[in-house]
Amino acid sequence: MAGISVLRGTTAYGRLPLFHYPQLPVSISVSASKQKYGRGKFSLFARYSQSQDVFTTRLQDSIENLPKLVEDIIQTSINTGPRGALRLAQGIQAVIGVGSEWLADASKTASSPSGLATELQLGLLSPVYLRKLFERMGATYIKLGQLIASAPTLFPPEYVQEFQYCFDRAPSVPFQEIQAILREELGKPIDSVFEYVDPTPLASASIAQVHGARIKGTQEDVVIKVLKPGIEDILVADLNFVYVVVRILEFLSPELSRASLVAIVKDIRESMLEEVDFKKEAKNVESFKRYLEAMGLTRQATAPKVYPEYSTTRVLTMERLYGVPLTDLNSINTLVPNPETSLITALNVWFGSLLACESFHADVHAGNLWLLRDGRIGFLDFGIVGRISPKTWGAMEIFLASLATEEYESMASSLIDMGATSQNVDSKAFARDLENIFSSIQDLDTEIIVAAAREPNTNATAVSANLRVDERQMNALFLDLVRVSESYGLRFPREFALLMKQLLYFDRYTRLLAPNLNMLRDQRITIASNQSSRSTYR
Q: Which is more confidently placed, 429 or 462?
A: 429
How many alpha carbons lie under 13 Å from residue 248 in its C-beta half-sphere? 10
Nearest one of 378, 255, 250 to 318, comparing CA atoms? 378
pLDDT tier at 3, thresholds 50, 70, 90:
very low
Nearest one of 478, 150, 510 to 342, comparing CA atoms? 510
Query: Which alpha helices (DSSP H) does 22-156 contain, by range?
Result: 51-80, 83-109, 118-121, 127-137, 139-149
Residue pLDDT, tens place only, 223-235: 999 999 888 777 7
- pLDDT at residue 460 greater than cutoff 80: no
Cα R_g (the chain), whole angstroms = 29
Other Cβ atoms closer than 10 A to 328: 20
Other Cβ atoms closer than 10 A to 337: 8
Residue pLDDT, tens place only, 6-60: 333 333 333 333 333 333 333 333 334 444 444 444 444 444 444 445 445 555 5
- pLDDT at residue 209 greater than cutoff 50: yes
In terms of average pLDDT, the best of 33-42, 53-62, 67-76, 403-412 is 403-412
Instruction: State residue 201's pLDDT score.
Output: 94
pTM given for the model: 0.67
Instruction: State residue 230's pLDDT score.
Output: 82
At CA 325, angle to CA 139 and CA 319, rounded to 5? Answer: 70
Residue pLDDT, tens place only, 426-454: 889 989 888 888 776 555 544 444 444 44
Residue pLDDT, tens place only, 104-139: 888 877 666 666 666 677 777 888 888 888 888 877
**230 Cα distance to chain centroid:** 23
Nearest one of 266, 232, 231 to 246, comparing CA atoms? 266
293 CB burial (10 A radius; 0-12, 13-18, 19+): exposed
Amino acid at 455: E
Instruction: State residue 24's pLDDT score.
Output: 37
DSSP state of 171: P
Instruction: State residue 79's pLDDT score.
Output: 61
Distance CA 252, CA 256 (A): 9
Distance CA 144, CA 126 (A): 16
Residue pLDDT, tens place only, 256-303: 554 456 666 776 677 777 788 899 999 999 999 999 999 999 999 999
Give φ, ψ of 328 to 5 degrees. Answer: -95, 85
Does an H or E element contain 420, and which? none
**164 Cα distance to chain centroid:** 11
Give φ, ψ of 14 to 5 degrees. Answer: 140, 180
The mean per-residue pLDDT over the stretch 173-197 comes to 95
Q: Which is more confidently placed, 111 or 361?
A: 361
Amino acid at 162: E
Q: Specify the length of the chain in residues.
A: 538
pLDDT tier at 187, thresholds 50, 70, 90:
very high
Instruction: State residue 307's pLDDT score.
Output: 97
Residues forming the active site:
363
Distance CA 283, CA 47 (A): 64
Is 141:127 a contact under the CB 8 Å cutoff? no
- pLDDT at residue 253 greater than cutoff 80: no
Distance CA 534, CA 356 (A): 5
